[in-house]
A and B are shown apart, each in its own frame.
Chain A
Amino acid sequence: MKLKPVAYLSKGDFPLGEGEALALYRAMRRARFFDEKAVTLQRQGRLGVYPPFTGQEAAQVGLALALGEGDWVVPSYRESALLLARGLPIHTLLLYWRAHPAGWRFPEGVRAVNPYIPIATQIPQAVGLALAGRYRGEGWVVAVAIGDGGTSEGDFHEGLNFAAVFRAPVVFLVQNNGYAISVPKEKQMRVDYIARRAEGYGMPGVVVDGNDAAAVYLEARKAVERARKGEGPTLLEALTYRLAPHTTSDDPSRYRTREEEEAWRAQDPILRLRRALEARGLWDEGKEGELLAELEAEFTQELALADAAPEPRPEEIVEHVYAEMGPDQRRAWEALGRGLHLEEAW
């Protein structure tokens, strides 16, 4: 069967309402703004190692805006845009990437869990979370995002199979950005589209142009509706490209060419939506300027909040290991709190 990527904006189609289109644009622009600031902060030594997502905003924001308030997102480490669009405060996200304990407890109202560092392990967990919503009669949908590299892991297979067997209300988004760090897609798999694998599990598989916000958003919405109606999971593959390195420690010039990057830069999902909005008189230079000023002010305020977080205490190391500290944690808590660990080090 031939799979063809769903695309609208690149073909001159504009299937979005004005409100939806502007919401997508603002959320994408805000995410990009965050990503650029985060990389700068990392270079200044004010953020830890950070995995940028620039180039993948349409995939992540498109999915986030397709969800309802009660739905959950289960992200991997590259999904900061997804988290921001889901309502995670910027200062919490900054503290998260600073590895400050205060950033690791997401606010109760935000239906998102912490990013996963191990690859694909979140897939079966997302299925469990989706089933919990069914048991509790709350019917939430779980959206789980992963990269193409993650589809090679056993947990991807087990999770998708479980989801299909239990008809779990899950939307699986694979952001196929072409590389598992440095290994290109051709050396990871022998299929043209990852979405093709869906048939083997017994669920629909859809390929979208991942730099086309309209395509991702509309296909994600269909998948969410399907899940909410009890029709089971969907595998959504977004063809995209990370214009940035794998993390701030990575050097992509060692494994890909400038020409390839430039070709993808021309398909920047934000520019693409912006041009479509401008062509319809919904956006202009003035509005862009206003938005950027707004984002700058918001970020400055949020950064100040993050900077104001108190220094973590050493004893927080053994906090929250168990609901109630066991004797070993208690002993360590006391030693750490009294600085005894420093004496122990001679």
Chain B
Amino acid sequence: MRILVVGGGMGGTIFANHLARRIHHEMKTGKARITMLSASHEHVYQPGWLYVAMGRATPDELVREQQSLLEPGIEFHVDPVEEFHLAHNHVKCKSGKVHEYDLIVISTGSRPMPENIPGLKENSVNCYTAENAVEYYKQLSEFKGGRIVVTVGLPHKCPMIPLEVTFAMYDFIKDRGLLDKTEFYYTYPIGRVHSLENVAKWAAPEFDAKGIKYETLFNMKEVDGKNAKVISEEGSEVAYDLLVAVPPHKGQEVIEKNGLGENGWIPTNRHSLHMEGEHGKNVIVLGDTTNLPISKAGSTAHFEAETAAENVAAVVKMGRPVKSYDGKVFCFIEAGKDRATYAMFNYQNPPQPKAPTGAVHAFKMAYNKLYWATARGLL
């Protein structure tokens, strides 16, 4: 079986490594082959940009050579796919090379699109790329006081980031003795401070205790950079001195161009993770690329990839899949510089976050290093 993995991020890498370990024998004997195509030779641990923005990590700590993470036997090419010909089981890459497959896994991820909100890109900082995280740290470290506004677009990657940046900045400003000169103003699209009800029930009192103000039912419409204010679709305006954005996201352009899904999100079966539609039988979709109503987060990609790898290995070995994805997500929630909690949930069970502790924060800091074992399919 020729298995083609498109995308070298969390989903594609964890899938490929888990699968390679399970079908090691079949790969050796030529019964199965795994090929990965990626747009980059680098693998980035994207959750780390938060720490760069707070001056607690540097970008190079978050990057590894993709080839170095892959199990032996996985064929790797830096050659982004430009055309998907799903009816004919092949893709065409930027180089012109055509790759045929029996099964394709699409895990191309998402991208921040601050340019989709007028004025947002030019007037805000965010922690969704290395360049932006460094600029965020520069502006935060030069901040002398005033109003810091957090504004959130939809859909976005990493649902915990709005809370995490707010708590992290609070401690950053506190450590610099600027709390009495700083006002924090958090905005959020729905009628509570986080999408997860139990997380919102925990976070709102934390905000109140710290004097962090918040406005809910606030969806960015535009940013008026000249007058330094952000305007919502609901009709309110908030003035800022430093605007921190969680920008809206889209899937990759190549997904849209090939007609695989509006805004780059591919319609996906929530349990089998196969693409919906007539050509979906041998197409698996992972991570942010799906249109599933669950978190766009590395954790989601991770658990989907494990399920998919186990299924594909079973298909190789005995012709049938063995698992159904249950919607499992596990997200750490940094509650400042030295405390954290977590949310774990699936399609059936909401999370029950506990009070933040130093121990969970320590585990998160350890996981930031252990991630490379996860990418290798070991953890």
Pairing of A with B: no
Interface residues of B (CB under 8 A from A): none
